[in-house]
Structure 1
Amino acid sequence: MPAPDQQQRLAALRETIADIERKPALAEARMLVEQQGHAFPVLAGGMLQEIFTDERRNAGALLGFALAQAKGLFTAQRRAVIYLQLADEAQKLGLPYGPGLLSFGLDPAALVLVRAGNMGELLWAIEEAIACRAVAAVVADIGSHSKLLDFTASRRLSLRAAATGGSIFMLRYGQEREASAAHLRWRLMPIHSARSRYDAKAPGPLRWRAELEKGALIRNQTEFVLGWTENGFTTLPAQRRHANRHAGRAALPRAVPAALADGLSQTA
């Protein structure tokens, strides 16, 4: 068995080789960025993306981020998204909510749900699904770490995505990062929502911060604050990214109940 330092050198070498192999896909993505001139672009297909969040309770934000990108990959030929889960993880992470998808402009009929019995079957299903010319993207919800999902497995998925033109989005949880051949790696963090249209004290449209940990799209920019609408992503201007939605309020003259201090309505 190789020593730890040898394993690290091998992982670094594999990463270098994978970087060379995936340059065409990233080059096309950067070219689209320049053409669109958007703060957060619609990316080309043919890429493997890892999307991490620190806690499982943020699973909905990961799924929304992946589906928002997948929606931009739909064509007359590619009209489906495959959503993969391990059968025993579905009880913990839940399933996509059809009416919610529809409210964001994504037809639930375009989403095919697949439950695999184990990680080996899930990885096989990803490769087979992305090879289908009718599939725009595959979203794989990886609830737990598995030794089967190593650098070699990720390299196979990266090459398969590049060869077929469909994109693979792998939803991951926790703060650990293994070496992989993903074109892009994101870290997603939910942030304060926008103001509600009907109640200033209620949560409004969702927002999250996307930090690009691996890969490059826009020069000198690795962080984006995003929302999702039926028309695609919305992006906050740079100067508003860290703005406090409660800033500018007058100071309270005395101590008050926490619910009032936080600006929440008094509803049961």
Structure 2
Amino acid sequence: MPPADRQQHLAALRATIADIERKPALAEARAQVESAMGGFPQLQGGLVQEIFTDRGHQIGAGLGFALAQARGLLTGRREAVLHLQLAGASASAGLPYAPGLESSGFASDRLVLVRPADMAELLWAAEEAVSCRAVAAVIAEIGGNARRFDFTASRRLSLRASAAGCSLFLLRAGPARPASAAHLRWHLLPAPSGPRPYDARAPGAPRWQLRLERGTLLRQESRWLLDWTDHGLADVSFPGAAGRKGDGAALPRPVPAALADRLSQTA
């Protein structure tokens, strides 16, 4: 591609991204966050959110964060959340645990599990699902499959999600940050859980460190330390809580160098 054409192409891409950033739904989300006085609000439907973890085995933490948000999007008309995961990926990434969902206030019968054979089928299923008016949110495990999921694919999904008012959560892993049309990009790390009030030795609610890498929700860099409770996401004051040492059990445990035949780890 000649240099002049390359510059025109880059300018067109920047204009497209700028148009996405000015999307009214994102402006409404920004107002919600600013009015929450530092808390983490329930973001409305129609946004595409990328949730990045450092490693593939941490995607389960990203799934928890997505499910915690999706719970607040369920209504009488939008009664389902779809979880798209490649067939066979559950051996390393795991599956949602119904009793655990129930204990966090998420009705497990609202979650539909879909297992496509390959990434092409997964992206097709995601595009069809976000267009369905009965679906509140779609959670798609992309992982490190950046080759199939390029900017064009993310743009198609973003347009569909915005038009239908359905939220799309893209679970991704690794240090790379490929170009995409997502409205928000999060970097998520699992954090040690806090102690339970009635038993300091027992692990508390799932906890995550969050940093907003893309999307302007606040005028300054946005960081949260969140617990997933049966009342939703609770901000537990990132600056102070991150440095506290309690008696609660730290989760997750270190992952062994190799798991036997990709079987799930047991205590």
Q: Which consecutive residues of structure 2, in runs of 5 or more, have no partner in the other structure? A: 248-266
Q: Note if contact 2:224-2:237 (Cα within 8 Å) is conserved in structure 1.
A: no
Q: How far does residue 198 in structure 1 lie from its aligned partner after superposition?
A: 3.9
Q: Does residue 159 in structure 1 map to residue 192 in structure 2?
A: no
Partner of 2:108: 108
Cα shift at 1:229: 0.7
Give the letter aligned to residue 216 of structure 1.
T
What is the one-letter code of the residue matched to 1:229? T
Cα distance between partner residues in 2 of 1:14 and 1:180: 10
The answer on whether the counterparts of 1:89 and 1:143 sit within 8 Å (CA) in structure 2 is no
Q: How many residues align?
A: 247
Alignment of 1:165-180 (within 5 A): 165-180=165-180
Determine the structure 2 residue equivalent to 1:132.
132
Counterpart-to-counterpart distance in 2, 1:112 and 1:229 = 22
Q: CA deviation at 1:146?
A: 3.8
Matched, 1:43 2:43: yes
What is the CA deviation profile of residues 184-232 of structure 1, one whole-angstrom value per residue up to 9, with x for unaligned ones?
0000011221013343234322211111000011232411110011111
Q: Do the aligned residues in 1 keep the contact of 2:146 with 2:178 (CA within 8 Å)?
A: no
For the structure 1 residues 11 and 195, does the alpha-carbon distance in structure 2 shift closer, same or farther, using more than 3 Å as the test? Answer: farther
Match of 2:99 in 1: 99
Q: CA, structure 1 residues 244+4, in 2 after alignment: closer, same or farther (shift >3 Å)?
A: farther
Q: Deviations over 1:41-91 (max 9, x none)?
A: 110111111000002232221111001111111122011100001113232
- What is residue 195 of structure 1 aligned with on the other side? 195
SS at match of 1:161: helix
Q: Does the residue aligned with 2:133 lie in a helix, a strand or coil?
A: coil
The Cα shift of 1:19 comes to 2.6
Change (3 A) 1:118 1:158: same
Question: Equivalent residues in 2 for 1:115-264 (5 A)?
Answer: 115-246=115-246
Instruction: Extract structure 1 runs of 4+ deviating beyond 6 A.
Output: 3-9
**TM-score of the superposed pair, with normalisation by structure 2:** 0.84
Distance (whole Å) between structure 2 residues aligned to residue 202 and residue 55 of structure 1: 26
Could you tell me which residue of structure 2 aligns to residue 263 of structure 1?
none
Structure 1 residue 37, shift from structure 2 partner: 4.2
Distance in 2 (CA, whole Å) between partners of 1:180 and 1:206 is 28
Question: How far off its partner does 1:9 sit?
Answer: 7.7
> What's the secondary structure of 1:133's corresponding residue?
coil
CA distance in 1: counterparts of 2:83 and 2:2, whole angstroms: 38
Distance 1:161 1:97 in 2: 27
Sort the Cα spacing of 1:159 and 1:106 in 2 relative to 1 into closer, same or farther, 3 A. same
213-222 vs 62-71, which deviates more? 213-222
Q: Is the 8 A contact 1:119 1:146 kept in 2?
A: no
Query: How many Å apart are 1:238 and its aligned residue?
Result: 4.7
Check 1:185–1:3 CA distance in 2 against 1; reply closer, same or farther (3 A cut): farther
Q: Distance in 2 between matches of 1:72 and 1:88?
A: 29
Structure 1 runs not aligned, ≥5 long: 248-267
Task: Report the equivalent of 1:264.
Answer: none
Work out the CA distance in 2 between the residues paired with 1:84 and 1:90: 11
Q: 1:239 to 1:186 in 2, by over 3 A?
A: closer
How far apart are 1:143 and its partner, in Å? 2.9
Aligned to 2:19: 20
Q: In the superposition, relative to structure 1, how do residues 243 and 198 fare at CA in structure 2: closer, same or farther (>3 Å)?
A: same
Amino acid aligned to 1:114: V
Distance in 2, Cα, partners of 1:215 & 1:230:
28
CA distance in 1, matches of 2:179, 2:163: 22
Once the two structures are superposed, what CA deviation does each residue of 1:217-267 show, in whole Å capped at 9, x if it has no partner? 1232411110011111110225414322149xxxxxxxxxxxxxxxxxxxx
